[in-house]
A = this chain, B = another copy of it.
Amino acid sequence: MKILEERIRREGQILSDTVLKVDSFLNHQVDTGLALQIGREFGRIFADEQITKVLTIEASGIQFAMAAGIALGVPFVYAKKKKAVTQAEEVYTAEVYSFTKRESYQVSISRRYLGPEDRVLIVDDFLATGAALVGLTDIVAESGAELAGVGCVIEKSFQEGRSLLEERGIRVHSLARIAAMSPGQVQFIDEESLVH
């Protein structure tokens, strides 16, 4: 998605070879017009998939799940993050290891809002190690819902997230794929030149 790549080049802060900050327009301050365009792009890519529900994780996935839900005309559900505790309610849970925080946390979704009748599109802001997204795909599998695919706004293609998901046979689409980066420079993979 060219407009997204240009915005990353212009406003993204590359703090190291692995850390990219996009909090001026994607995940702290949010450009609502761009978020809607991102949602429409996910809507276009997954238009034929009969999606019934978009799924994401709080907090930074919410604006993109909302935009994708608007584009597809379906509700979205956001998984909640908690320290591992016993749940009073009936929930699906998955354990996720955070490499940045070096601790595990639990993501959970009420059983009421996901079931065998659903065809799910998972959406998130970043695909890097894939830990959180693999957790979400486990939850979808447990619920009996069908997973139509995963849509990410930015992919750090030099990390293992995509291959972890593809090994499970999951269709992955990222709107900006970063091949490599270093302070002051970011190199994108040209989607058009690739055959998946």
CB of B62 within 8 A of CB of A29, answer no
Q: Indicate whether A36 reaches chain B with its CB closer than 8 angstroms.
A: yes
Taking a contact as CB atoms closer than 8 A, the residue among B24, B77, B78, B113 that contacts A59 in the complex is B78
Chain B residues in 8 Å Cβ range of A66 = 30, 32, 35, 62-63, 66-67
Binds B, one of A68-76, A164-172, A173-181: A68-76
Number of copies: 2
Question: Residues 52-67 of chain A: 1 if any B CB is under 8 Å from the residue's CB, otherwise 0?
Answer: 0000001100110011
Q: Indicate whether A112 reaches chain B with its CB closer than 8 angstroms.
A: yes
Q: Which residue of B lies closest to A27 (CB)?
A: B78
Within 8 A of B (CB), among A80-131: 80, 109-110, 112-113
Chain B residues in 8 Å Cβ range of A78 = 28, 30, 59
A73 to B63 Cα, complex, angstroms: 15
A95 to B71 Cα, complex, angstroms: 37
Q: Indicate whether A49 reaches chain B with its CB closer than 8 angstroms.
A: no
CB of A76 within 8 A of CB of B113, answer no
Q: Indicate whether A23 reaches chain B with its CB closer than 8 angstroms.
A: yes
A30 to B109 Cα, complex, angstroms: 13
Q: Indicate whether A190 reaches chain B with its CB closer than 8 angstroms.
A: no
CB-CB under 8 A for A32 and B80, given A62-B59, A63-B62, A66-B66: no
Chain B residues in 8 Å Cβ range of A25 = 75
A35 to B76 Cα, complex, angstroms: 11
A selection of 28 A-B contacts at a CB cut-off of 8 Å is A23-B110, A24-B112, A28-B78, A28-B110, A29-B75, A29-B77, A29-B110, A29-B113, A30-B66, A30-B76, A30-B77, A30-B78, A32-B69, A32-B70, A32-B73, A32-B75, A32-B76, A36-B70, A58-B58, A58-B59, A59-B59, A59-B80, A62-B62, A62-B63, A62-B66, A63-B63, A66-B66, A66-B67
